[in-house]
Structure 1
Amino acid sequence: MSHLAQASLWLLVILPAAVGGLLALTRRADRVVVPVSLGAAALTLALSAVAAFQRPSVAVPFMAGADFALTVDGLAALLVPVVAAVTLLVLVFAAGERYRAPARFHGLMLLFASSAALTATAATLPTLLFAWEIMGAASYALIGFWWRDDDRMSAGLTAFVTTRTADLGLYVAAAAALAGGGGLALADLPGGSMGWRHVVAAGILVAALGKAAQLPFSFWLSRAMAGPSPVSALLHSAAMVAMGGYLLLRVEPLLVSTGWAGTVTTWLGAATALLLGAVAVAQRDLKQLLAASTAAQLGFVVMAAGAGTVAGGAAHLVAHAATKALLFLAAGAWLTTLGTQRLTGLSGVARRWPLVGWSATVGALALAGIAPLSLWATKDAVLAAALAQSPWLYAVGLVASALSAAYAGKILIVMWRRVPAQRRAGAEAHDEEEQGTGAVNLFQQLPVVVLAVAAAVLGVLALPPVQGLVGRAVATGEAPRATPLELGVSAAIALVIVLVVARGQVPEPRWALRWLGLEKAAGLLVVRPTLRLAAALARFDDRVLDRGVERVAAATLRVADRSARADDRWLDGAVERFAGGTRRLGQLARRPQTGQLHQYYLQAVVVVVVGVLLLVALR
């Protein structure tokens, strides 16, 4: 392995982090922010290509038994360039929007992307934990980027606290891995002792489900929509949410080794794909619809990890990254232009801005699973593995796939709906959520077009012969492949549902409108009991601990006061009496010292006489 390849891997994670940190701390560099940011992102993309081709591994000593190690294997080689490419395109889009603090925004975005790349290349649990923490902190700062708005800051805090709660599972997993003796390298986790291996798998599963916004953690993704649209585009496509599904693909051998984790993972992914698909159908806000669809689509990736098709899950993750980045950027362009993201205010937007409209159409058709666009084939790669595991699992996945066609069809109908002339005149400027500009600029159009091409063609990753190459590069074993019949059935279902949605109004299940009440349930079951416990502990602290401390302090003061009085009366008096006696003895000793010679002779005679008398008496 060449030193150049190793250097490219270090620079891949250090360069965007260093540039992002400098930009985030810079205040007066607005003119150079965009060139510096785009230059760093472009160089990171080039470095990711070098790393994907060379497959380097690097490590430095970190702690006993574990290094801070990075590696680019087949799975990372597929995902890291995607992270870098989406980051560059999202930053190009962001260059067309005006922010009060562009340096801070671009700096945080580069730091966010760096943490995602570090997560994708992490080879040990210490490295993963380091990247995981930075990713969570950066997401909090970006979701609450407009920090003067209390609602947006609250949304960022909700997302941060929810994912941080799930992140505790990763710390439990690291502790269990140490106790199990298998080592902290991700590749060594399946080799730990059986008892501790279960704890490791459970901890990683909880942490990954939290980041991927799977049930029961999905609600934080709804609140995350308060952030800027470029943040949503990166977070949903190639950064934090995607990294949750990626982690489960990375540890698929561990899930299999436990005997239970694979099945649980598969069914949790299927349940999320189904229920969050219903949530997406019920939404009346474009970004909320796309957010729910992200959780649903990541459900397919989680299913793939549990069902053992790493290649299918990776292909779906890559195709979804391009598709979802495209749709979120389109939503951001319309929000900037019209000042709204509500579906009622977006009627006919594709007719008014055709380039963005046709690009978003490609993304929506891919999301629906229309052949031959990307997500059609990648979904079926996952469903084929689900069918091999359980016909019921396949049925749930097929219904979830049908729901994706329904909510994607809902987007298509809104975009291309004809608006009567009398209504069009009054709808020129909505400005319901922010001040619209009335125009889509080149910086907003270019990334959308590039992503539309990617969303159209990336399905080839799940089709022969490329599917075999991807499988050999990233999979740990041979996985079932979708048959032509399965591909045809899913394509037909998607097409029929889109046509049905086009002809009539989409049913909107009210029970799913507020994200299944997950946030309210979390408040009732977790937040309120935690706050009550905290209040009880605070009262215990005030009434028992504080009073105990105060009583001890008061008793100590009383003892000190009495000791002070005893010191004044007895000790100080004794010292003074001793000193007085010593002074008197000194005075007596000074009296014979008169300086007269005859008195000294007399004293000598007295001493001699006394001495003689003592000698005589002693005899």
Structure 2
Amino acid sequence: MLLVALVGLPTVAGAVLLLARPPRGATAAGVGTAAVTLAVAVAAAVTRPASDVALLAGVRAGFAVDGLSAVLGVLVAAVLLAALVVGAAEADLRTGRFHGLMLLFAGAMLATVTATTLPPLLMAWEVMGATSWALIGYRIDDRAAARAGTVAFLTTRTADLGLYVAAGALLAGGAGAMALTDLAVLDGGWLHVAVAGVVAAALGKSAQLPFSFWLSGAMRGPSPTSALLHSATMVAAGGYLLLRTAPALDAAGWAAPLVAWVGVATALLLGLVAAVQDDLKQLLAASTCSQIGFIVLAAGTVATPAGALQTVAHGAAKSLLFLVAGLWLAALGTRSLSDGLRGAARRHPAIGVAFTVGALSLAGLPPLGLWVGKDAVLAAALDASPALYVVGLAAGWTSALYSGRALWFVWRPIAPGGATTAGDRTGTPAHAGGDRAGTPVPAVATVGGLAVAAALAGLLALGPEPLRPDPAPHAWELVLSAVLAGAGLLVAWRFAERFPVPRPLVRWLGLEDLAHRTLVRPVLALAAVLARLDDRGLARVPSGVAHAAVALARRTDTDGERAVDRTVAGIADGARALGRVARRPQTGQLHQYYAQASVGFALLTVLAVLVMS
């Protein structure tokens, strides 16, 4: 029953809210459902239920809460609750459509993390993609948001085809039950095909290179949506899938090193992208790709506990930062660090302190959560390859760089006549002590709770086995990363306004343009050629047949019909003539009938004589 409640409660409640769209009470219903879901997730993490049902002949739909899914289930439910509470601060998000979509998405994510066989995971994966598209383009009057949602959907959907390839390989390889654990024991080439499909789908969903560009446009969605989708759920789902299938990656031989290098390369390059962004949400989006890169690195080095610890620490810190960005956007009307957000932490001190905790955690500063999580991943990387470790350290340094730069701007004093805010533009004084005046108390309390979680997440490394890293980082590794984090913060604080801004980094490495030139444009060109071929070639066959049929019908309707009419008329005339001839002997006079009979008998007699002779 706990599994049914865990997945079914947000799914059913979300569907009801989405369909009914009540004029009032949607926020209370959404928040209440999220709170109950969190309680159920905690209970499931304690009791570890498992269940499966027959789906098709020989194929089961299995669900279970084990060590890894217990951690992710609680994290998803907690971030869902926080996002809905803070989302209530924005009037246009207090709707049944918003809460319904958020709950449906969360239900799909919970089904994903608890699925033990591929069919239900595939179904939930598809629902996640559809609801994420609707949430990114939630504001239907924003054409840019609609386009961003479409780009995100098409990019991830293309990568998602890998899961269908993996499912086919499982069936072809004899794993009829299609359990995720069957991946590692497939024989021959089917193992490599299945693993390749899983890797493609996971990298696409987690916005890793070369798919990372879709996350930039996704920032057009509401900030609570970003907090849920792009911190602990959708982008984390790909990392989770790789952690779940890490034994299969290792068994394939080539897959684990590939995944590890893609993860660490994404962590480094997208960290540099984040460091030059002026838009706060773009900075947070690029940093999400970078931090998820460490989770992917953990999967590539088969360090599942370290990856789970990084997932929890990142989810707490990044959901906090996205929610604060949304609160500042609602209060100040801007996302620009160098303009409207300069001094934002001074205007909203409580929120500013929470943001600072999240940013310092993201930077990897001790003793905050991501310091431990990142170093646990790097310890496994060092065991696998010193080169991976060095690149990972450099990626960690970029985390401090972009975090420090954001902090520098939001804590700068505001000069007289300086940056404007929404209040300044309307002639109303900006929020002095705005947390008390302009931001709802539940929202402030929520970001405060997330700040505590982000600060203390590293302690989970001392707790349950699913989060206890093995190998654990040595003391010198912890000290080295702490020194690098401090150095990165100092560099950012010193040169925040004088950072070089290379155009490729501002444009997210130009990957979207590259994809458009190398993939989208050729596909559209091929489609145009095929369309012309269809219009001018293939389409002419049925069109020609149709024209011929019409011409034949017209000819039949004219010449053919007249010929038939003449034939019928001729037969009728002949029948009438024969009738007239046949009527002539019929005079009614008896002597003529005798004369006719005599002639007939005479003819018969002559015929008989001729035959006999």
TM-score, normalised to structure 2, is 0.91
Task: Give 1:273's match in structure 2, choosing from 267, 281, 288.
Answer: 267
Question: Partners of 1:593 and 1:145 in 2: how far apart?
Answer: 98
Which residue in the other structure is 2:38 paired with?
45
Question: Partners of 1:340 and 1:229 in 2: how far apart?
Answer: 12
1:189 paired with 2:183, answer yes
Contact 2:69–2:114 (CA under 8 A) maintained in structure 1: yes
Which residue in the other structure is 1:461 paired with?
460
Which residue in the other structure is 1:451 paired with?
450
Question: Partners of 1:483 and 1:60 in 2: how far apart?
Answer: 45
Structure 2 vs 1, CA of residues 591 and 245 (structure 1 numbering), >3 Å: closer, same or farther?
A: farther
Which residue in the other structure is 2:144 paired with?
151
SS in structure 1 opposite 2:334?
coil
Compare 255-264 and 441-450 and name the one that shifted more: 441-450
Contact 1:245–1:301 (CA under 8 A) maintained in structure 2: yes
Q: Deviations over 1:236-259 (max 9, x none)?
A: 122211111111111111101100
Which residue in the other structure is 1:56 paired with?
49
Task: Give 1:103's match in structure 2, choosing from 96, 100, 119.
Answer: 96
SS in structure 1 opposite 2:24?
helix
SS in structure 2 opposite 1:31?
coil
Structure 2 vs 1, CA of residues 454 and 512 (structure 1 numbering), >3 Å: closer, same or farther?
A: same
1:349 paired with 2:344, answer yes
Contact 1:384–1:480 (CA under 8 A) maintained in structure 2: yes
**Letter of the 2:48 counterpart:** R
Question: Partners of 1:256 and 1:558 in 2: how far apart?
Answer: 68
**Letter of the 1:224 counterpart:** A
Question: Partners of 1:483 and 1:139 in 2: how far apart?
Answer: 40
Question: Partners of 2:313 and 2:586 in 1: how far apart?
Answer: 113
1:395 paired with 2:390, answer yes
Contact 2:69–2:113 (CA under 8 A) maintained in structure 1: yes
Gaps of 5+ in 1: 1-6, 472-477
Question: Partners of 1:329 and 1:563 in 2: how far apart?
Answer: 76
Structure 2 vs 1, CA of residues 610 and 542 (structure 1 numbering), >3 Å: closer, same or farther?
A: same
Q: How do residues 133-152 of structure 1 correspond to structure 2 at under 5 angstroms?
A: 133-152=126-145
Deviation at 1:30, TM superposition (A): 2.5
Which residue in the other structure is 1:486 paired with?
477
Structure 2 vs 1, CA of residues 617 and 64 (structure 1 numbering), >3 Å: closer, same or farther?
A: same
Which residue in the other structure is 1:475 paired with?
none
Which residue in the other structure is 1:89 paired with?
82
Structure 2 vs 1, CA of residues 566 and 515 (structure 1 numbering), >3 Å: closer, same or farther?
A: same
Task: Give 1:495's match in structure 2, choosing from 477, 486, 490.
Answer: 486
Contact 1:96–1:442 (CA under 8 A) maintained in structure 2: no
Compare 495-504 and 565-574 and name the one that shifted more: 565-574
Question: Partners of 1:575 and 1:547 in 2: how far apart?
Answer: 39
Structure 2 vs 1, CA of residues 403 and 569 (structure 1 numbering), >3 Å: closer, same or farther?
A: same
**Letter of the 1:498 counterpart:** L
Contact 2:333–2:421 (CA under 8 A) maintained in structure 1: no
Which residue in the other structure is 2:73 paired with?
80
Question: Partners of 1:613 and 1:604 in 2: how far apart?
Answer: 14
Deviation at 1:82, TM superposition (A): 0.8
SS in structure 2 opposite 1:61?
strand
Contact 1:329–1:448 (CA under 8 A) maintained in structure 2: yes
**Letter of the 1:507 counterpart:** F
Structure 2 vs 1, CA of residues 453 and 611 (structure 1 numbering), >3 Å: closer, same or farther?
A: farther
Q: Deviations over 1:377-399 (max 9, x none)?
A: 01011000100011010000000
Structure 2 vs 1, CA of residues 73 and 572 (structure 1 numbering), >3 Å: closer, same or farther?
A: farther
Gaps of 5+ in 2: none
Compare 199-208 and 49-58 and name the one that shifted more: 49-58
Question: Partners of 1:577 and 1:114 in 2: how far apart?
Answer: 82
Question: Partners of 2:69 and 2:594 in 1: how far apart?
Answer: 109
Task: Give 1:291's match in structure 2, choosing from 285, 291, 300.
Answer: 285
Task: Give 1:418's match in structure 2, choosing from 413, 417, 421.
Answer: 413
Contact 1:136–1:164 (CA under 8 A) maintained in structure 2: yes
Question: Partners of 1:243 and 1:287 in 2: how far apart?
Answer: 20
SS in structure 1 opposite 2:209?
coil
Which residue in the other structure is 1:532 paired with?
525
Contact 1:308–1:479 (CA under 8 A) maintained in structure 2: no
Which residue in the other structure is 1:407 paired with?
402
Question: Partners of 1:91 and 1:604 in 2: how far apart?
Answer: 118
Question: Partners of 2:465 and 2:456 in 1: how far apart?
Answer: 17
Deviation at 1:578, TM superposition (A): 4.0
Contact 1:283–1:508 (CA under 8 A) maintained in structure 2: no
Q: Deviations over 1:129-176 (max 9, x none)?
A: 111111111111111111112111111111111111111211222222
Task: Give 2:317's match in structure 1, choosing from 314, 320, 323.
Answer: 323
Structure 2 vs 1, CA of residues 502 and 614 (structure 1 numbering), >3 Å: closer, same or farther?
A: same
**Letter of the 1:20 counterpart:** G
Contact 2:216–2:286 (CA under 8 A) maintained in structure 1: yes
Question: Partners of 1:289 and 1:318 in 2: how far apart?
Answer: 20
Question: Partners of 2:470 and 2:568 in 1: how far apart?
Answer: 95
Deviation at 1:362, TM superposition (A): 0.9
Which residue in the other structure is 2:364 paired with?
369
Deviation at 1:95, TM superposition (A): 1.4
Structure 2 vs 1, CA of residues 326 and 101 (structure 1 numbering), >3 Å: closer, same or farther?
A: closer
Question: Partners of 1:18 and 1:467 in 2: how far apart?
Answer: 32
Question: Partners of 1:580 and 1:100 in 2: how far apart?
Answer: 88
Structure 2 vs 1, CA of residues 578 and 332 (structure 1 numbering), >3 Å: closer, same or farther?
A: same
Q: How do residues 562-577 of structure 1 correspond to structure 2 at under 5 angstroms?
A: 562-565=555-558, 567-577=560-570
Which residue in the other structure is 1:470 paired with?
467
Which residue in the other structure is 1:517 paired with?
510
Contact 2:68–2:466 (CA under 8 A) maintained in structure 1: no
Question: Partners of 2:241 and 2:271 in 1: how far apart?
Answer: 22
Task: Give 1:308's match in structure 2, choosing from 295, 302, 306.
Answer: 302
Compare 209-218 and 114-123 and name the one that shifted more: 114-123
Task: Give 2:224's match in structure 1, choosing from 219, 230, 239.
Answer: 230
Question: Partners of 2:89 and 2:605 in 1: how far apart?
Answer: 120
Structure 2 vs 1, CA of residues 107 and 468 (structure 1 numbering), >3 Å: closer, same or farther?
A: closer
**Letter of the 1:527 counterpart:** V
**Letter of the 1:120 counterpart:** V
Structure 2 vs 1, CA of residues 588 and 371 (structure 1 numbering), >3 Å: closer, same or farther?
A: farther
Contact 2:281–2:335 (CA under 8 A) maintained in structure 1: yes
Question: Partners of 1:12 and 1:384 in 2: how far apart?
Answer: 34
Structure 2 vs 1, CA of residues 568 and 502 (structure 1 numbering), >3 Å: closer, same or farther?
A: same
Deviation at 1:565, TM superposition (A): 4.3
Which residue in the other structure is 2:59 paired with?
66
Structure 2 vs 1, CA of residues 152 and 607 (structure 1 numbering), >3 Å: closer, same or farther?
A: farther
TM-score, normalised to structure 1, is 0.90
Structure 2 vs 1, CA of residues 135 and 610 (structure 1 numbering), >3 Å: closer, same or farther?
A: same
